[in-house]
């Protein structure tokens, strides 16, 4: 016989989980002691949200399940936002919360997580794929299996189990099951895809975050090159295609490039969308005249397929990588003469460079666009960058070139300010030898910046780059654009991020020009066991590339 909690930890070890994230509390003490007894690492974060974010970043880079735990009541409610963020990323993260006592449920309990208090099972339902309370030891095996299968098969995402204290310590018969690895379904419409590609005269590839999730980098590169199709990305799809490829036009939507917009004006007849819901952020600035005649939409989740742009849409459901692999096999089996020739005009279009921009400079601050370009000059090509939600990352979407696919991550769906701080910490634990950078802002840092202390405490050498313009810049500029005034988006006192970071134990720099940024990056890349924070004072009046969203 084994306890419920020991079986939990046994499975985590079997699945390659080395680190679990959370904050202690009485109902989850059995989990904490079992983690220690089995020589796994428990990372104590500064907020439960930070635990959920870090577990998500860990899952993303480690390619296994992430685990975040929180105590009952407020410990669980504090995890909700990070669960919603994991759902937007389609990340398999298991959120475990405690409950004081199942046998005393219905009596007055402190931090009650049942229907008589904060019903965590119901609260987690909208932000996870499965949420349940294990009320008896006999339920554990099946509920645990249900949760992990939901997390890992099909449309992946977070799941939640509430396990009361006394259930954790009860003994049951041992069992074992492997982390589910599905056999992806292949669409029956792939020959139709080939036909439409061959008929197209002026196609475009539009890559979203789903390419990141399925790691279909080589497959989309093959598709673009085989038919000579120019490539644009959504904000969340940034990093799926190399910026120095001749077919790359950069991003469209918020943070989009002039090249991408110009090409969409050239009467597209076929748009191949891979891994994008085509949200309002992805289609910001998209006009009626840009509509293609047809769309082919690859997506594992077809909830929004064919709904954002009202043109005939061929939906290819399933994992993008698997379907593109099968498409390639079909193409290789065909007579090459039956395939359309490479679109040389598209290649010439892709070689166009960004127009020169007027960048404001001062002895007090640096242009955000200029700072982004300086970061790109000095960070190694294999640096993995997590962009937080705000103007800073939209500057990066436009100006930070990606040379190795899979090295830039940003969410343009849920959009939690400060989530990238925790994601970068979890990612660095999963890949300690890679340079990991979090690009964030002063607003995001004031929400979840205390997680820098987690990185200090655990010796996690993330480089945090904080653009400081003294306010919530994206909201500020948007309100001024549409209302001619801004309300509540500027801080009366600008936070000194350098001093804040130093108070948490990090090495910190404050930069106002290119040479200071270069020096700071050069030094931070040398640190192996301590995080660093580079505060960049940026122009508070610079207009970010976000005003095309209506």
**Domain 368-537, CATH class in plain words:** alpha beta
The domain locations on the chain are 2-172, 190-350, 368-537
**β-strand partners of 232:** 206
The reported pTM is 0.92
Which ranges constitute the DSSP H helices of 289-341? Answer: 320-333
Q: Assign residue 32 a region: left if phi > 0, alpha if psi is -120 to 50, beta otherwise? A: alpha
Please name the residues in contact with 340: beta carbons below 8 A apart, sequence gap of 6 or more.
197, 198, 199, 200, 227
**Whose structure tokens read 């993995």?**
384
Q: Digits of tens for pLDDT over the chain (550 positions)?
A: 999 999 999 999 999 999 999 999 989 999 999 999 999 999 999 999 999 999 999 999 999 999 999 999 999 999 999 999 999 999 999 999 998 767 767 666 767 766 777 899 999 999 999 999 999 999 999 999 999 999 999 899 999 999 999 999 999 999 999 999 877 789 999 999 999 999 999 999 999 999 999 999 999 999 999 999 999 999 999 999 999 999 999 999 989 999 999 999 999 999 999 999 998 889 999 999 999 999 999 998 888 888 899 999 999 999 999 999 999 999 988 765 555 555 544 444 444 444 444 455 667 899 999 999 999 999 999 999 999 999 999 999 999 999 999 999 999 889 899 999 999 999 999 999 999 999 999 999 999 999 999 999 999 999 999 999 998 888 888 888 878 888 888 898 899 999 999 999 999 999 999 999 999 999 999 999 999 999 999 999 898 888 776 5
Report the interhelical angle of 80-89 vs 48-62 (nearest 10°): 20
CATH of domain 2-172: 3.40.50.970
pLDDT of residue 356: 42
Q: Which two tokens stand for residue 398?
A: 């436009």
Q: Do 2-172 and 368-537 fold alike per CATH?
A: yes
Q: Which CATH superfamily hosts domain 190-350?
A: TPP-binding domain (3.40.50.1220)
Check: CB of residue 369 under 8 Å from CB of residue 517: no
Check: CB of residue 187 under 8 Å from CB of residue 318: yes
Would you give the end-to-end CA distance of the chain in angstroms?
60
């Amino acid at each position: 016989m084994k306890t419920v909690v020991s079986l939990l930890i046994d499975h985590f070890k079997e699945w390659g989980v080395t680190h679990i994230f959370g904050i202690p509390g009485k109902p989850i003490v059995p989990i904490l002691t079992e983690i220690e007894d089995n020589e796994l690492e428990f990372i104590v974060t500064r907020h439960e949200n930070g635990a959920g974010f870090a577990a998500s970043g860990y899952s993303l880079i480690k390619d296994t399940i992430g685990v975040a735990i929180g105590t009952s009541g407020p410990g669980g409610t504090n995890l909700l936002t990070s669960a919603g963020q994991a759902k937007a990323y389609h990340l398999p993260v298991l959120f475990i919360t405690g409950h004081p006592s199942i046998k005393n449920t219905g009596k007055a309990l402190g931090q009650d997580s049942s229907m008589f208090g904060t019903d965590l099972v119901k609260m987690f339902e909208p932000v996870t794929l499965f949420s349940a309370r294990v009320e008896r030891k006999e339920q554990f095996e099946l509920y645990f299996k249900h949760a992990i299968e939901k997390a890992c098969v099909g449309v992946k995402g977070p799941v939640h189990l509430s396990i009361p204290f006394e259930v954790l310590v009860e003994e049951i018969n041992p069992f074992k099951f492997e982390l589910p690895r599905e056999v992806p379904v292949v669409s029956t419409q792939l020959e139709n895809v080939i036909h439409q590609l061959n008929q197209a005269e002026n196609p475009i590839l539009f890559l979203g975050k789903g390419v990141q999730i399925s790691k279909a980098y080589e497959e989309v590169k093959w598709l673009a090159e085989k038919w000579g199709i120019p490539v644009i990305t959504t904000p969340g799809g940034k990093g799926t295609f190399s910026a120095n490829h001749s077919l790359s036009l950069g991003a469209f939507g918020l943070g989009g490039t002039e090249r991408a917009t110009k090409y969409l004006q050239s009467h597209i007849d076929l748009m191949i969308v891979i891994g994008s819901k085509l949200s309002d952020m992805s289609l910001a600035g998209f006009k009626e005249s840009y509509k293609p005649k047809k769309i082919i939409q690859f997506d594992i989740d077809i909830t929004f397929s064919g709904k954002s742009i009202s043109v005939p849409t061929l939906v290819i459901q399933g994992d993008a990588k698997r379907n593109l692999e099968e498409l390639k096999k079909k193409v290789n089996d065909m007579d090459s003469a039956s395939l359309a020739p490479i679109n040389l005009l598209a290649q010439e279009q892709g070689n166009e460079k960004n127009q020169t921009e007027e960048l404001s400079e001062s002895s007090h601050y640096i242009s955000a666009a200029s700072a982004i370009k300086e970061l790109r000059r000095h960070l190694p090509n294999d640096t993995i960058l997590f962009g937080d939600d705000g103007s800073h990352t939209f500057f990066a979407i436009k100006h930070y070139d990606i040379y190795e696919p899979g090295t830039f991550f940003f969410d343009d769906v849920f959009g939690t300010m400060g989530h990238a701080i925790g994601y970068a910490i979890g990612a660095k634990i999963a890949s300690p030898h890679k340079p990991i950078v979090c690009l964030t802002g002063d607003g995001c840092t004031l929400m979840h910046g205390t997680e820098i202390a987690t990185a200090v405490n655990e010796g996690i050498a993330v480089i945090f780059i904080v653009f400081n313009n003294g306010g919530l810049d994206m909201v500020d500029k948007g309100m001024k654009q549409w209302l001619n005034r801004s309300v509540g988006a500027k801080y009366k006192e600008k936070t000194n991020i350098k001093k804040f970071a130093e108070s948490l134990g990090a090495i910190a720099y404050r930069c106002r020009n290119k040479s200071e940024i270069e020096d700071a990056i050069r030094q931070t890349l040398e640190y192996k066991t301590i995080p660093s924070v580079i505060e960049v004072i940026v122009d508070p009046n610079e207009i970010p590339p976000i005003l095309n969203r209506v």
